[in-house]
Structure formats: structure tokens, C-alpha cells
Amino acid sequence: MTVRFEEKDLKILKCIEQNGNCNLDEIAEITGMSRSTVHYRLKKYRRMGLVKGIFAELDPQKLGLDITTITFVNVRYDTTSAEEIGEKLASISGIFAVYYVLGDYDFIVVAKAKDRDDLKRILREIHSIEGVIKTGTHFVASIVKEEKRLLVNYNEEDLKKLFCEK
């Protein structure tokens, strides 16, 4: 299902992503829209499930989570499903992303750890999941881009092409 918006919608959504809050007055000022327009549209986005909440973005390195790893996981599905294994992987403390993929691996897991002992705990928990047969873990030497916000990854022209009414 493709969602279509007006340019006003994209301005509000991008403002929320960039500024990390839902203060109606600030959004209205930044976007040049009335407070009531912003209020109505934010309410609509929440009802649609598009805006689920506003979260602070914490700096992992300043919290001491200096190790980022990407682990490729191979599994066998004798007694459990991919969905069940994915849920078990996702429930491990320190794992930030789990992707079920097609190709040479079954899952790609992204984790952040405080130190080597913390990373060993995460890897032990991955290996303890029934069905996991092999993993390959790669340390991230440096992060070039790690952006959790969606709209800031697109330029204005592409956003309009992808999401605006024609």
C-alpha cells in the first residue's frame, strides 16, 4: 500500500523527524502553517499509525556502547520457524536490528555492546537459540552513516515523487 501525501504533510513529517518533538507552535512556525492545520494533520498521522511516538536520539558512543557488530546468522528450521527465531533474536538485550533476508544467510543482526564481555554475552545468546547453526560476526571499524530517521534520507524532489499526489 502506497501512502500519498500533500507537500504540507511532508513538511510536517520532516520537521518532526529533524526536530524530535511535536510542539504544535514550533512546527507551525517552522513549516509556515497554522497551528490548527498542524494539530489536525498530526492527529491524522497518529490515527494512521504513521507517527508512533517521538523519541530522543541518544549517542551510543557517549553512553559507552563503543562496539557495533553485524552478525550473519544461518539457521535450520527443523523444529522452529523463521518468525520464531527472528523474535528470539530480537529479544536479546543489545540487539538493535534483525533482518530476515534471502540469499546466503537467513538473518542479519545489528548489535551494540559496551565491551568484549558484553559482546560475548550477545553472541552466546544468539548461539543458544534452537535452530541457529552458524554465525559470522563483523566488527564495524567506523560508522559512515547510521540514520534511523526516514525522510531525511531523501531529497525534496524524490520525496514529492514518492509520496505526493500527482
For the chain, strand residue ranges (E) read: 67-75, 95-100, 107-113, 132-139
Which of 58, 48, 57, 47 lies closest to 16, judged by CA?
57
Residue 23 has a pLDDT of 83
- Rounded to whole angstroms, what are the CA distances from 165 to 4, 5, 13, 28, 112? 6, 6, 16, 22, 40
Residue 52 has a pLDDT of 80
User: What are the strands of the beta sheet with 67-75, ordered from one edge?
Assistant: 95-100, 107-113, 67-75, 132-139
How far separated are the first and last CA of the chain, in Å rounded?
A: 16
CATH architecture of 67-139: 2-Layer Sandwich (3.30)
CATH fold of 7-56, please?
Answer: Arc Repressor Mutant, subunit A (1.10.10)
What one-character DSSP code corresponds to residue 151? G
Cell numbers linked to 64: 559507552
Residue 36 has a pLDDT of 93
Q: Indicate the SS3 state at residue 124.
A: helix
**How many Å apart are CA 89 and CA 68, to the nearest integer?**
16
Residue 5 has a pLDDT of 82
pLDDT values of the chain reduced to their tens digit, one per residue, 166 residues:
456 788 888 888 888 888 777 688 888 988 899 999 999 998 888 888 888 877 777 788 888 899 999 999 999 988 889 999 999 999 999 999 999 999 999 999 999 999 999 999 999 999 999 999 999 999 999 999 988 878 878 888 888 888 886 5
Residue 2 has a pLDDT of 58
| Inter-axis angle of helices 24-31 and 35-48, nearest 10 | 110
**How many Å apart are CA 82 and CA 108, to the nearest integer?**
12
Residue 119 has a pLDDT of 97
Q: Where in the chain is the domain with CATH 3.30.70.920?
A: 67-139
Residue 104 has a pLDDT of 94
pTM exceeds cut of 0.85 = no
Q: Where in the chain is the domain with CATH 1.10.10.10?
A: 7-56
